[in-house]
Amino acid sequence: MDLYPLKFTPIFKYRIWGGNKLKTKLNKDYIEENIGESWEISGVKNNETFVSEGYLKGRSLAQLINTFKGDIIGDNVYKIFGDTFPLLIKFIDAKKPLSIQVHPSNEIAKSRHNSFGKNEMWYVMEAEDDAELIVGFDKSITKEEYEKHLKNGTILDVMHHENVNSGDTFYIPTGRVHAIGEGVMLAEIQQTSDITYRIYDYDRVDAKTGLKRELHNDLALDVIDYRVYESYKTHYDLNKNTSNILVHSPYFKTNIIAIEGHMTIDYSDIDSFVIYICVEGSLDINCNNLDYSLNTGETLLVPSNLNELKLKSVGAKILEVYYQ
């Protein structure tokens, strides 16, 4: 049977800093408290998402790739990654600040953990008044000075704090220290990796364990990029009914589309799966004369062998993600 645009059942993750916006704002279905992450499309081992609709319902991402290979993820993507899906798509709700953390490069992650590195990006969907992100450093710092601040508990003083609003976008390459602040809900696109080095966690105790969370400062020291950059936020255009470049990296490409009325997209030149993440409004999608809907907080995987899609909406915004 033919492939079709695929929705998956999310995996919900308890986090010490999690809230309830994934339920109240994005209509996620769970009963637990402090859910900080919704893993929307995941091929991470032991954390795979499963198709939620259609004749492929119940199939995992790995099973789909094993069966359909390049037809679902693209011939070139399959040649590079085999049965491993290269990206992990999440929604994150930070009721409280996340730890200050950093991710290792592909090379370091491979040698230390037999894993991919974790280059990622954030698209802010909602931010409370005065909400902020921590991204990189505000002033040039040596490794020795960094260690001194860490020891003295003043590491936040040298970090770059940036107030954020809905629509703000940040690319977080490996090596860049970062944290999501209190009151921020965002979409995250990242390499398939769960390797995080936590370097500062506000001395918090996890109510579930009664313990402080583990820090990884020895591992982080040689990973951190200590340089200062002129700007950390991504600037982009938002022309209607076209794919506007958001973040194009060697690990994924993300565009943003603001849909007003009708538009048709042709993917015949892209040898890759495409993921739609609806970050505002809702839209109707027609593919091979079948209709699908996508609402705020939902994601859709478009297999590589589906070339033409017709989109219809009044004011929806979607992130368009692919590998090529």
Active-site residue list: 198
**Amino acid at the residue 192:** T
Residue 19 CA to residue 296 CA, distance in Å, equals 18
Which DSSP letter does residue 114 get? S
Is 178 known as a binding-site position? yes
What is the Cα–Cα distance from 188 to 37, expressed in whole angstroms? Answer: 10
Which residues 6+ apart lie within 8 Å of 234 measured at CB? 121, 169, 170, 171, 246, 247
SS3 41: strand
Cα-Cα end-to-end distance for the chain: 26
Which two tokens mark 86? Answer: 């290269």
**What span, in angstroms and rounded, lies between the C-alpha atoms of 261 and 263?**
7
What secondary structure does DSSP assign to 220-286, as a single string?
HTTT------S--EEP----BTS-EEEEE-SS-EEEEEEEEEEEEEE-TT--S-EEEEEEESEEEEE
Tokens of 164: 């954020």
| Selection from 315, 141, 163 nearest residue 228 by Cα | 141
Distance (Å) of CA 312 to CA 260, 292, 315, 317: 7, 11, 9, 11
Q: What angle do CA 302, 268, 119 make, to 5 degrees?
A: 55
Q: Is 103 annotated as a binding residue?
A: yes
Feature table: binding site for Zn(2+) = 103, 120, 178
Feature table: binding site = 103, 120, 178
